[in-house]
Amino acid sequence: MERNRLLRRPLIWIILVVGAAILLSYVLNGSPSYTQAKTSDVQTILTQDANLIQKVTIQDKEQTVELDLSSKVPLPSDKSTTADKIQAQFPALAMDDIFKQVMAAQQSGSLAKSATVNTTVTKDSVLLSVLFNFLPIVALVIILLFFMSQAQGGGSRVLNFGKSKAKLIS
């Protein structure tokens, strides 16, 4: 009996939905395999150690650049940290400079012979976009219906205010 009353409370369901959303986003994103580095570290590797670079991926929307290196190298800003996969954030206005540095390193032949350069522009999911647009509206409607049912004294008499059995006494 107590368990049924506990499951009828909306706060429990809200907590469960939020928890499931957090768990789902964690599972879909996975754990990051790239070591976070400073943008200056990536620029230094592009100019000085470009022969170690096997793959460069520039993600335009996320404003990140990812470098896959042939061996573990210490980061220029932190010599105690070594990594063979490095990821750095950059400002939106620096996109052209980063791209020009990568292209210059590739054209000069300083990148490894088998190095690939890839630029990705991710697109929003239509389903996710629709969900985020309609979720606030649905939440407001649910809250409105909840308050209306509480004002009527329970869920059985929602919107039944015109069916009163009161009689006029003269």
The answer to whether residues 39 and 116 belong to one domain is yes
CA torsion sign, 101 to 105 to 107 to 113?
Answer: negative
The answer to whether residues 20 and 71 belong to one domain is no
pLDDT band at residue 7, thresholds of 50, 70 and 90?
low
| Angle, vertex CA 112, rays to CA 107 and CA 118, nearest 5 | 65
Residue 32 neighbours by CB under 8 Å, 6+ apart: 87
Which residue from 37, 160, 43 is spatially nearest to 100, judged by alpha carbons?
A: 43
Choice between 158 and 92, residue whose per-residue pLDDT is larger: 92
The answer, as to whether pTM is greater than 0.85, is no
pLDDT value of residue 19 = 87
d(CA 42, CA 55): 13
pLDDT band at residue 151, thresholds of 50, 70 and 90?
low
The answer to whether residues 26 and 55 belong to one domain is no
H-state helical runs in the chain: 2-7, 10-29, 39-48, 95-107, 126-151
First and final C-alpha spacing in the chain: 47
Provide φ and ψ at 37, rounded to 5°. Answer: -135, 170
The answer to whether residues 68 and 96 belong to one domain is yes
pLDDT value of residue 158 = 54
Domain CATH code at residue 102: 3.30.720.210
CB 122, CB 61: distance < 8 Å = yes
- The answer to whether position 130 is within a domain reads yes
d(CA 29, CA 52): 28
pLDDT, averaged across the chain: 80
pLDDT value of residue 52 = 83
Number of domains in the chain: 3
CB 144, CB 138: distance < 8 Å = no
Length reported for the chain: 170
pLDDT in tens, 120-141: 887 877 887 888 888 889 888 8
Which residue from 160, 169, 149, 128 is spatially nearest to 8, judged by alpha carbons?
A: 149
pLDDT of residue 156 exceeding 70, the answer is no
pLDDT in tens, 21-78: 888 877 776 656 888 888 888 888 888 878 888 888 988 888 899 988 888 888 888 8
pLDDT band at residue 160, thresholds of 50, 70 and 90?
low
